[in-house]
A and B are shown apart, each in its own frame.
Chain A
């Protein structure tokens, strides 16, 4: 038990280390991409370039640069932005995190509820037109670029039909903190939630339906029917409960990636200052400290989510509990 926890911890640290090295290399060692040139500006004089190089420590060996950055990020926590001099990056992330968490949690709730309903309905009516219709709807959801959907939603609710009774409640783009105004928070996020959820409703309903159909041919489903249980009970209590195991692992990863910045396109379109948008800004300014910080934040989330999924596995699957 202790050994497996230790191994798990080791793997986690290894993945975090790997991500930090990967990101570091992308920005500091990609052939032709010199951070000095980026900071000094195009056509900077050689003297400026040299000054910047020394000032930012780009003249030192890569491992030293890497170690110094990690130390500032995790130990002294005083890493500052290259672009807005003096701005500390850790508080900046802590400010953006609630926005992203609000956005992603609401969307997740919507997509889980909707996709379970759609997946179960489709599987129960397998082969019929309802099944085909729902699954085609899911495919459509998967095929819509989220940023474009967001634009169309804005067009309809902010401009064209904003004055109709249907959308007059929609506030302007932006975020309202939950603690300040719960109703305003809800109104500001309702449409971003729905927009972000569309893709995942499509994915999850299709995955769930496929799992449920696959599980139908299992012996235990036949046993359940032979017991005289109703088709709904067989599907929900025996089928859905078993399919939930894959569903949960997918959910853990997707949720973590979104909280870790994967929702940036939605954040950009709806003007929400979340982690994804912050990361994107850091990237476009090539603000290396902020990039490192946001990517590490995102990686920590993914890794935590993996651990939570593993724990949920223990809860959901007794076979894993016994290590079989």
Chain B
């Protein structure tokens, strides 16, 4: 009898209290130092960009969206023109002011229109983050629908959806996105009574979401197909549980892990795609700004004022890197395999 009590005591002390898979994954993620740093960086950048309207004016003293070529800023008590003669021997042409490294005036310099770069970075970040977040969310919803329908219904529906995915897969993603952007950028999109203007952010969001659907749908479909053969689903079907109920109660909760892990990776891809489209000036349209459009602005100044192109690029690298690190950490924490992959 003693032995039994001993057993009872030791097993209760050693076996951890059962915790839900999500909580366990959360705890594992919290132990992942790289992922936590990435999360902190993301939150900091997001907060800085979202709160831009509150303090950007103090940084820039100008509107980040209107041209300011005739303006001047105060540096060390002296008034300095924003547009300055070039450094070349003949002082031909004008260049915007370079980085002053003073928080009070043109911290990072100005762009070719004399607009403060730091303020534009913050406002551009809002657009870039908004587009990539919404595009990733929309893409994952679409992918979940396509993946679950194809994987669960199977048969002819699966065949048709898979062939469509194959076709989309065969066209380079960026070319596909560029094609759609060019068509919509001139006149916008008219869907019956609804007209979406070409400067509406919905257009890049929808385009980016659409072109990445095959990348996200494939792992979902695979997961659903293996779930459909799982015993508990077979049992539910044998009991006559209606299909939509099985999908909602049994399938969806089990693909959530795959979808959640995909989220940061898709957002990273979306941000890269957005910057590429804007760089080709077919993404975000003026007067809007995103990190991609700022790089595009900076292209002409690359040899004289490289900061205009370098700063937004660095911002993209930092955010995308943080998203990828976070996605990696989440994949490890949730132990999801085969969750698609990044590609150019």
Which residues of A are interface residues toward B (Cβ below 8 A)?
Answer: 14-15, 18-19, 22-23, 26-27, 30-34, 37-38, 136, 139-140, 142-149, 151-152, 154-155, 158-159, 199-200, 203, 207, 253-254, 257-258, 260-262, 264-265, 268, 276, 279-280, 283-284, 286, 291, 295, 298-299, 302-303, 306
- Shortest A94–chain B CB gap in Å is 19
Alpha-carbon gap, A200 to B341, bound state (A)? 12
Extra pairs beyond A143-B324, A262-B174, A286-B182 (16, CB < 8 Å): A14-B163, A18-B167, A31-B190, A31-B191, A32-B189, A139-B328, A143-B268, A147-B279, A148-B317, A155-B302, A203-B341, A262-B172, A264-B174, A264-B175, A280-B280, A298-B171
Given contacts A142-B342, A154-B302, A203-B343, contact A38 B167 (CB under 8 A): no
Q: Which residue of B lies closest to A284 (CB)?
A: B182
B110 close to A (CB within 8 Å):
no
- Shortest A70–chain B CB gap in Å is 16
Task: List chain B residues, Cβ under 8 A from A139.
Answer: 321, 324-325, 328
Nearest 7 pairs of A and B residues by beta carbon = A32-B190, A262-B172, A148-B313, A143-B321, A143-B320, A18-B167, A302-B170
Give chain B's interface secondary structure class. helix
Alpha-carbon gap, A261 to B177, bound state (A)? 13
Alpha-carbon gap, A142 to B316, bound state (A)? 12
Alpha-carbon gap, A262 to B170, bound state (A)? 11
Identify A151's interface contact among B168, B178, B182, B309, CB under 8 A.
B309
Task: List chain A residues, Cβ under 8 A from B342.
Answer: 142, 203
Q: Are A26 and B324 in contact (CB under 8 A)?
A: no
Identify A30's interface contact among B172, B183, B280, CB under 8 A.
B183
- Shortest B223–chain A CB gap in Å is 17
Q: Are B183 and A143 in contact (CB under 8 A)?
A: no
- Shortest B275–chain A CB gap in Å is 5
Q: Are B175 and A33 in contact (CB under 8 A)?
A: no
Q: Are B310 and A32 in contact (CB under 8 A)?
A: no
Alpha-carbon gap, A284 to B309, bound state (A)? 23
Q: Are B182 and A140 in contact (CB under 8 A)?
A: no
B244 close to A (CB within 8 Å):
no
Q: List 20 A-B contacts (CB under 8 A).
A: A15-B163, A15-B166, A18-B166, A22-B168, A23-B171, A27-B179, A32-B195, A140-B321, A146-B344, A147-B295, A151-B302, A152-B310, A152-B313, A155-B306, A203-B341, A203-B343, A207-B341, A262-B344, A276-B175, A284-B182
Task: List chain B residues, Cβ under 8 A from A303.
Answer: 170
Interface size on B, residues (CB 8 A): 54
Q: Are B189 and A30 in contact (CB under 8 A)?
A: yes
Task: List chain B residues, Cβ under 8 A from A295.
Answer: 171, 175, 179
B184 close to A (CB within 8 Å):
yes
Q: Kindly supply a per-residue 1/0 record for chain B positions 158-200, scoring 1 wherever the CB is within 8 Å of any chain A CB and 0 otherwise.
A: 0000011011111111110011101110111111100100000
Q: Kindly supply a per-residue 1/0 record for chain B positions 131-170, scoring 1 wherever the CB is within 8 Å of any chain A CB and 0 otherwise.
A: 0000000000000000000000000000000011011111
- Shortest A322–chain B CB gap in Å is 24
Alpha-carbon gap, A30 to B185, bound state (A)? 12
Task: List chain A residues, Cβ under 8 A from B320.
Answer: 142-143, 145
Identify A145's interface contact among B172, B178, B313, CB under 8 A.
B313
CB within 8 Å of A: which of B287-305?
295, 298-299, 302-303
Task: List chain A residues, Cβ under 8 A from B306.
Answer: 155
Q: Which residue of B lies closest to A279 (CB)?
A: B175
Task: List chain A residues, Cβ under 8 A from B184.
Answer: 30, 32-33
B270 close to A (CB within 8 Å):
no
